[in-house]
Structure 1
Amino acid sequence: MSRTLQHETVLPLWNEPPAGTPENLQPNVEERSGNPFRANRALTGVVTPSLTAWVPEQPNGASIIIAPGGSYRRIVLDKEGLELARLLAPLGVTCFLLTYRLPGEGHANRADAPLADAQRAIRMLRIHADEWRLDPKRIGFLGFSAAGHLAASLATNHDRNTYPLLEKEQGVSARPDFLALVYPVITMQDSDVHTGSRDALLGETPSSLQKDERSPQLNVTRQTPETFIVHADDDPSVSPMNAITFYCALHRAGVKAELHLFRDGGHGFGIAGAQALPVAKWPDLLSDWLMRIGALAVGNESFGNDQ
């Protein structure tokens, strides 16, 4: 694929639906908002995984792939996608909104399907970095909720063989340079698991080996990218122990990380839903973190961990 990157350009990750995609699967967008002035759309039936570019007026070369959550059963397009892209645009960050295959929709390679899409997305940005005026060493990945599990899985299993590489992908790393997790699902083990996400990803009776392999906190190494994490202590859906456990694994491995745990916030607050609560500060904390780690500094050769 070779095209000029423009605002809201849709970039399919695959030239055709990936092998193992159910033939009868059809995309569907459901509007779930009761407010006509605030969209809350959810996508299911992902046949053509893609990136949608959100290009700022003054791009600085930094880019972030944003993966909205939805329990691995849907993709929440607005509050966990567009809202954040609009916020990061003034910082010069080129955002790419990711739609990824939902594992419970009948895909043959169920547990690897979303991870393969995330790996392909990172490699696509690196391959086209010069063409799209991106810095191939400042590509981040941000995941909300179940897509936090996808993000953490990408960070810890970026070299897992999930699909046959094209010739141009040989030697191109799928490791994000920095990672951000917002009320993330992490563990697939019984303690603190978000059952809905695990059932969608692994089925209702996963083996102990599957639980271990798909629990990113058990796969952290020194090469895991620097990470920003935010969660609410009163989250009724995803236990904050997911965020805490992953932070502890990063700390033990010597990976720089930042964890913000707020008393109030619940789950799925996004940006607009966090207003009037202390957790509303999280986008500013993210922006400050991006500045401090050098992700937004053009020409910063010391960016990231010294791997």
Structure 2
Amino acid sequence: MLDRRQALGLTALGLISPALAPTGEPEVETLRLWPGAAPGGEGVTVTPEVVERSTDPAFHDRIAKHTRDPLLTVVRPARSNGVSMLLIPGGGYRWAVVDKEGMDCARVFAAMGYTCYVLRYRLPADGWAAGPDAPLQDAQRALRLVRAHAVAEGRAADRTVVLGASAGGHLAGLLGARPDATYAPIDNADQYAYRPDALILLYPVATLTAPYAHAGSRRELLGESPSPDQIAAYSLEQMDWTGAASTFLLHAMDDTAVPVENSLMLSATLRQARVPVEVHLFEEGGHGFGIRLIEGRPAAVWPDLVRGWLGRRGL
């Protein structure tokens, strides 16, 4: 938990909503990513919306559309293991999932001791000046902010891992592969590194090339008719991963939305770049299973596989 002094300081910086600033009780708080407006929003006219898709009162299945004020939702463990985890849910870059690959996963990893931060990011087709790099601006800023918060709360900045799923796996992959900063520094949080210390990708959108691309993600990211150069620039398997963090890949063989070839192609690239990589393939599971949709099936062990893999790296 943040103490009162830390909470008041973050509220004063505009990074935590006063209504959600902890007073000693909640284990979940919401942090604003940017102290002012998100960069490059002069031409943005969309209206933010959070839609509940679940008809079962026992669980949420929310999606965030047209986000203009990106957020980090923090889920804290009862006892911290000293490691921070940034979670980037999917949504095909058309929306960002809130629960299935966000809060649901965060609660599981918080129970293991990880301090979890779920990212609600901007979408590339909403008119942001950075275009396809708008989500990456949010991801880079989020990772830096997570590190800054870790230091303020007594955790090490260099024990920060990133977990991305589906299109969020693509965004997490960009975060891991690209060495260039996508926005100008705005405060002290931006002194921290914006590449992860370990990377976990669940059924990731990796390639934007036919025939294995997820067409919806490519369209939302690059438009209806991207050039070959644009496609190559945002295909993870065509990037230079030299010096990237150790990477964990997980995919179901029967995934018809994002074919398993996405993980296979990316793993080959990582091996060529001498990036330590572990790959888990399951016969069944489909796409977008998160935590709840894989219960009772072999792939349900994936959080324990991740914990074991991180543990072997001292994380």
Q: TM-score, normalised by structure 2?
A: 0.89
Q: How much does 1:134 deviate?
A: 2.2
Residues of 2 paired with 1:63 and 1:240: CA distance? 28
2:44/2:128 contact within 8 Å kept: no
Residues of 2 paired with 1:137 and 1:93: CA distance? 14
Amino acid of the structure 2 residue aligned with 1:261: L
Cα distance per residue 1:175-194 (max 9 Å; x no partner): 10000011110112223110
Aligned to 2:55: 34
Aligned to 1:65: 86
Residues of 2 paired with 1:290 and 1:90: CA distance? 15
Aligned to 2:227: 207
Is 1:229 paired with 2:249? Answer: yes
**Pair 79,193 (structure 1): closer, same or farther in 2 beyond 3 Å:** same
Q: How much does 1:257 deviate?
A: 0.9
Aligned to 2:115: 94
Residues of 1 paired with 2:54 and 2:60: CA distance? 6
Is 1:277 paired with 2:284? Answer: no
The gaps in structure 1 that reach 5 residues or longer are 296-307
Q: How much does 1:170 deviate?
A: 5.8
SS state of the match for residue 128, structure 1? helix
Aligned to 1:256: 276
Aligned to 1:243: 263
Moved more, 164-173 or 130-139: 164-173
Amino acid of the structure 2 residue aligned with 1:155: G
Is 1:106 paired with 2:113? Answer: no
Aligned to 1:304: none
Q: How much does 1:167 deviate?
A: 5.3
Residues of 2 paired with 1:47 and 1:280: CA distance? 34
Aligned to 1:119: 140
2:117/2:146 contact within 8 Å kept: no
Q: Between the two proteins, what is the percent identity of the paired residues?
A: 41
Which of 223, 237, 240 lines up with 1:217 in the alignment? 237
Which of 138, 162, 174 lines up with 2:159 in the alignment? 138
2:44/2:126 contact within 8 Å kept: no
CA RMSD of aligned residues (A): 1.7
2:63/2:95 contact within 8 Å kept: yes
2:163/2:200 contact within 8 Å kept: yes
Amino acid of the structure 2 residue aligned with 1:24: T
Residues of 1 paired with 2:176 and 2:79: CA distance? 28
The gaps in structure 2 that reach 5 residues or longer are 1-7, 12-20
Cα distance per residue 1:3-30 (max 9 Å; x no partner): 3995322111112222332443222111
Residues of 1 paired with 2:189 and 2:173: CA distance? 22
Cα distance per residue 1:131-171 (max 9 Å; x no partner): 122211110111110000000011001x3231111253565
Amino acid of the structure 2 residue aligned with 1:3: L
Amino acid of the structure 2 residue aligned with 1:25: V
Q: TM-score, normalised by structure 1?
A: 0.91
Aligned to 2:10: 3
Aligned to 2:207: 187
Aligned residues: 294
Cα distance per residue 1:199-232 (max 9 Å; x no partner): 0011111111111111122223331110111110
Aligned to 1:287: 307
Deviation beyond 6 Å, 4+ runs, structure 1: none
**Pair 218,133 (structure 1): closer, same or farther in 2 beyond 3 Å:** same
Amino acid of the structure 1 residue aligned with 2:82: G
Residues of 2 paired with 1:262 and 1:104: CA distance? 33
Residues of 2 paired with 1:84 and 1:170: CA distance? 27
Is 1:149 paired with 2:170? Answer: yes
Moved more, 125-134 or 3-12: 3-12
Residues of 1 paired with 2:44 and 2:213: CA distance? 32
SS state of the match for residue 81, structure 1? helix
Amino acid of the structure 1 residue aligned with 2:166: S
